[in-house]
């Protein structure tokens, strides 16, 4: 939330409610775990680390009048795929658009991932406005063609946690040859919230998926400046 406040548009108003740290396995009465009132909101961002938080979101949307919800899935334990599917259905029945990007940094203005080669499209101006600034990392990298060093890395779209901005700052002065690997190391050393357990929808850890999304963005821009050498085998002697 600090990153959103620091680098989001100045006209955004960000209010924060911290959910209870202890919730039961099944929540029969959401009102028992919600405050008496919450401020009005257009968009709800949920970064819960307990599946019970997702069960509270329909009531939170109703209390705030929100028309859209972004529920991050950075761990299957925090928001299981079945509950994520249910949540989208509950919200849809209320006329609220709900998206559950897995991982959160797969979100764009039109779609998001839920697994390997599984993307869901959505159409909502509120979520799209948020995703213009935070979601799938997008850097604008400038490389000196003579030295092949990165001279600048502008953040067009940051990851919600601020990792893309951290990586961009660390890439300045790095050779195009080393940029992809350096981006991966910078991402790995940042406190990413994506889980390190193998996710069955990807066959990989969500942290690795998150890192690859950022590395792919970097690689696409530095590839024309890389010094790639190929080795060929010699001819067979007589």
The tens digit of pLDDT for each residue in 203-218 reads 999 999 999 999 999 9
Give a yes or no: residue 41 inside a domain. Answer: yes
* The residue count for the chain: 238
- Decide the pairing of beta strands 198-199 and 204-205: antiparallel
Shared domain for 96 and 71, answered yes or no, is yes
Shared domain for 148 and 63, answered yes or no, is no
Evaluate the CA torsion angle 138, 104, 5, 9 in order and state its sign: positive
Domain boundary pick from 69, 104, 131: 131
Q: Specify the pLDDT at position 229.
A: 67
Q: Specify the pLDDT at position 193.
A: 87
Is residue 237 very low, low, confident or very high in pLDDT (cuts 50, 70, 90)? low
- Residue 40 sits in a domain whose CATH number is 3.40.50
Q: Specify the pLDDT at position 28.
A: 81
User: Mean pLDDT, to the nearest integer, of 75-85?
Assistant: 95
CB burial of residue 75 (10 Å; 0-12, 13-18, 19+) = buried
Shared domain for 17 and 115, answered yes or no, is yes
pLDDT surpassing 90 at residue 220: yes
Shared domain for 70 and 126, answered yes or no, is yes
Question: Residue 84 corresponds to which tokens in the numbers above?
Answer: 């994520």
Give a yes or no: residue 237 inside a domain. Answer: no
Q: What's the domain range around 195?
A: 138-225
Cα 197 to Cα 7: distance, rounded to the nearest angstrom: 30
User: Mean pLDDT, to the nearest integer, of 89-101?
Assistant: 97
Q: Specify the pLDDT at position 37.
A: 93
Domain boundary pick from 131, 155, 179: 131
Is residue 26 very low, low, confident or very high in pLDDT (cuts 50, 70, 90)? confident
Question: Residue 17 corresponds to which tokens in the numbers above?
Answer: 């409610």
Q: Specify the pLDDT at position 230.
A: 60
Mean pLDDT of the chain: 94
Shared domain for 38 and 118, answered yes or no, is yes
Cα 119 to Cα 220: distance, rounded to the nearest angstrom: 21
pLDDT surpassing 90 at residue 30: no
Evaluate the CA torsion angle 148, 154, 157, 162 in order and state its sign: positive
Give a yes or no: residue 238 inside a domain. Answer: no
Structural contact between residues 7 and 157, judged by C-beta atoms closer than 8 angstroms:
no
Shared domain for 61 and 117, answered yes or no, is yes
User: Mean pLDDT, to the nearest integer, of 89-115?
Assistant: 97
Shared domain for 120 and 18, answered yes or no, is yes
Shared domain for 121 and 16, answered yes or no, is yes
Domain boundary pick from 113, 131, 149: 131
- Residue 185 sits in a domain whose CATH number is 3.30.390
* Number of domains present in the structure of the chain: 2
User: Mean pLDDT, to the nearest integer, of 20-48?
Assistant: 90
Beta carbons within 8 Å of 104's beta carbon, 6+ residues apart:
47, 70, 72, 73, 74, 135, 159, 160, 161, 193, 194
Shared domain for 35 and 113, answered yes or no, is yes
Q: Specify the pLDDT at position 235.
A: 64
Shared domain for 74 and 45, answered yes or no, is yes
């Amino acid at each position: 939330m600090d990153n959103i406040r620091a680098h989001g548009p100045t006209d955004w108003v960000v209010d924060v409610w911290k959910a209870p740290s202890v919730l039961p396995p099944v929540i029969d009465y959401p009102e028992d775990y919600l405050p008496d009132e919450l401020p009005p909101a257009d968009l709800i961002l949920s970064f819960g680390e307990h599946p019970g938080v997702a069960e509270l979101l329909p009531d939170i949307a109703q209390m705030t009048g929100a028309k859209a919800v972004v529920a991050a899935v950075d761990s299957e334990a925090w928001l299981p795929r079945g509950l994520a599917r249910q949540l989208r259905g509950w919200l849809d029945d209320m006329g609220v658009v709900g998206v559950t990007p897995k991982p959160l940094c797969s979100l764009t203005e039109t779609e998001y991932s839920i697994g390997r080669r599984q993307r869901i499209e959505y159409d909502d101006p509120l979520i799209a406005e948020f995703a213009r600034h935070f979601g799938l990392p997008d850097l604008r990298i400038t490389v000196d063609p003579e030295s092949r060093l990165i001279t600048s890395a502008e953040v067009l779209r940051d990851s919600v946690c601020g990792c893309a901005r951290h990586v961009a700052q660390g890439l300045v002065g790095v050779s195009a040859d080393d940029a992809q690997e350096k981006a991966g190391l910078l991402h790995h050393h940042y406190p990413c919230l994506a889980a390190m357990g193998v996710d069955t929808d990807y066959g990989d850890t969500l942290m690795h998926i998150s890192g690859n999304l950022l590395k792919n963005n970097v690689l696409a821009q530095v590839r024309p400046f890389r010094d790639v050498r190929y080795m060929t085998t010699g001819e067979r002697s007589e």
